[in-house]
């Protein structure tokens, strides 16, 4: 396995900029299913309502699979009531997720322009993804030689040679009107201060790079929008690969994400013909506690599972759980 950490980080940022309301976006089933994490605002129409009520009233084929409330993490049942400021994770196809977020009053439009502070490798890979999508990219970089290099590599991007921490420069370059602001220097303190400044004067989607994982609790309280830890992104790729190599007889892990400070795992299993779960209605399976079958992908058809649905050969099944160390789909059973 070969990992390019800068490319992996750029992929993560690009996913976030495609869906600005989300704090984090993970994909399953080769992009056909998304797991989107977002924070409910004070006056959210979802607050104070049980989940069954929400799905009935909004008519949206999405599944809320985790809820973070302060230090607590819930895998919610149908009678679970959401509150303002809850952080929820939603599983759905991109189209259904779009419908859901529109109905609850969150921004779903893809951003039109992006300002990036720091012209490193990740910024280069990010610009390569954003420019073909028609997104204007402005990169602020201090090193003159690197600016010349980026100008040649990215002729469609605007490269500004200057100190990205200078307020006057940021104002000159229109930080107030930018729709996305990415703080990607090599210094955590600079990145955090820049994001706080951008947040105070614009409505931009903010993405902040942080190296030091040990301060994550403090950083969370600052409400910086999407905070990315490059070490975590790389570690997640490695864990996913290692766990996928531990293939069991009935199924194997295709995709794995560690969520909510590694308290929750979201796994995508591919079902083989030896699996003992095939053809049994889900309501008849004795599933472990704190576990949710979030989605079944059947040859490209995305199914939000109900009690009558079954798992069939060739399906991929997405499981969200606070249990750790699943290697095979049968691990979901008591």
SS3 42: coil
The model's pTM is 0.81
Burial class of 227 by CB neighbour count within 10 A (0 to 12, 13 to 18, 19+): buried
Tell whether 75 and 138 lie within a shared domain.
no
pLDDT for the residue 153: 97
> What is the 3 state secondary structure string of 170-200?
HHHCCHHHCCEEEECCCCHHHHHHHHHHHHH
Q: How far apart are CA 216 and CA 228, in angstroms?
A: 10
pLDDT for the residue 88: 92
Residue 241 within any structural domain of the chain: no
Angle between helices 121-130 and 144-153 (to 10 degrees): 30
Tell whether 81 and 124 lie within a shared domain.
no
CATH code: domain of residue 54: 3.30.70.1450
SS3 113: strand
Last residue of a domain, one of 184, 207, 233: 233
SS3 297: strand
Q: What's the alpha-carbon Rg for the chain, to the nearest Å? A: 21
Strands lying side by side in the sheet with 251-259: 251-259, 264-271, 316-321, 291-298, 301-303
- Residues 26, 35: contact at Cβ < 8 Å? yes
CATH code: domain of residue 128: 3.40.50.720
**pLDDT tens over the chain, length 334 residues:** 889 999 999 999 998 898 888 888 888 877 788 889 998 888 888 888 888 888 778 888 888 999 999 888 999 988 899 998 899 999 988 888 888 888 888 876 778 999 999 999 999 999 999 999 999 999 999 999 999 999 999 999 999 999 999 999 999 999 999 999 999 999 999 999 999 999 999 999 999 999 988 777 788 778 888 999 998 888 888 887 787 776 555 667 888 888 877 789 899 998 987 778 899 999 999 999 999 999 999 988 999 898 899 999 999 999 999 988 888 888 999 8
Tell whether 115 and 71 lie within a shared domain.
no
Tell whether 114 and 214 lie within a shared domain.
yes
Residue 150 within any structural domain of the chain: yes
DSSP 8-class letter at 112: S
Q: How far apart are CA 297 and CA 303, in angstroms?
A: 6
Residue 79 lies in domain: 16-103
pLDDT for the residue 178: 96
pLDDT for the residue 209: 95
Q: How far apart are CA 142 and CA 117, in angstroms?
A: 9
How many structural domains does the chain have?
3
pLDDT for the residue 249: 56
Tell whether 227 and 190 lie within a shared domain.
yes
CB atoms within 10 A of CB 80: 16
Residue 238 within any structural domain of the chain: no
pLDDT for the residue 181: 97
pLDDT for the residue 128: 97
pLDDT for the residue 154: 97
pLDDT for the residue 61: 80
Using the structure block, give the residue that is written with the tokens 């390019």.
4
Burial class of 258 by CB neighbour count within 10 A (0 to 12, 13 to 18, 19+): middle
Residue 170 within any structural domain of the chain: yes
Last residue of a domain, one of 103, 123, 155: 103
């Amino acid at each position: 396995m070969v990992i390019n950490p800068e490319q992996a980080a750029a992929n993560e940022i690009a996913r976030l900029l495609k869906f600005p309301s989300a704090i984090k976006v993970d994909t399953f089933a080769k992009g056909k299913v998304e797991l989107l994490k977002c924070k409910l605002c004070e006056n959210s129409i979802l607050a104070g309502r049980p989940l069954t009520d929400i799905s009935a009233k909004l008519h949206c084929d999405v599944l809320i699979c985790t809820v973070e409330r302060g230090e607590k993490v819930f895998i919610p049942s149908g009678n679970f009531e959401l509150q303002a400021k809850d952080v929820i994770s939603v599983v759905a196809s991109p189209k259904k997720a779009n419908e859901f977020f529109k109905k609850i009053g969150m921004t779903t439009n893809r951003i039109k322009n992006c300002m990036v502070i720091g012209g490193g490798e990740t910024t280069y890979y990010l610009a390569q993804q954003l420019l073909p999508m028609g997104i204007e990219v402005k990169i602020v970089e201090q090193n003159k030689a690197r600016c010349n290099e980026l100008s040649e590599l990215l002729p469609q991007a605007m490269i500004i040679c200057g100190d990205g921490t200078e307020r006057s420069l940021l104002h000159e370059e229109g930080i107030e009107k930018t729709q996305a602001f990415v703080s990607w220097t090599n210094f955590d303190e600079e990145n955090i201060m820049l994001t706080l400044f951008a947040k105070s004067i614009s409505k931009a989607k903010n993405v902040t790079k942080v190296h030091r994982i040990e301060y994550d609790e403090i950083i969370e309280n600052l409400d910086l929008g999407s905070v990315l830890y490059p070490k975590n992104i790389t570690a997640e790729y490695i864990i996913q690969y290692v766990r996928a190599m531990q293939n069991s007889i009935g199924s194997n892990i295709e995709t794995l994400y560690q969520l909510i400070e590694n308290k929750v795992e979201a796994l995508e299993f591919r079902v083989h013909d030896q699996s003992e779960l095939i053809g049994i209605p889900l309501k008849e399976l004795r599933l472990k506690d704190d576990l949710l079958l979030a989605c079944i992908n059947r040859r490209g058809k995305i199914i939000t599972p109900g009690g009558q649905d079954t798992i069939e050969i060739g399906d991929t099944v997405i499981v969200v759980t606070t249990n750790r160390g699943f290697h095979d789909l049968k691990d979901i059973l008591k």
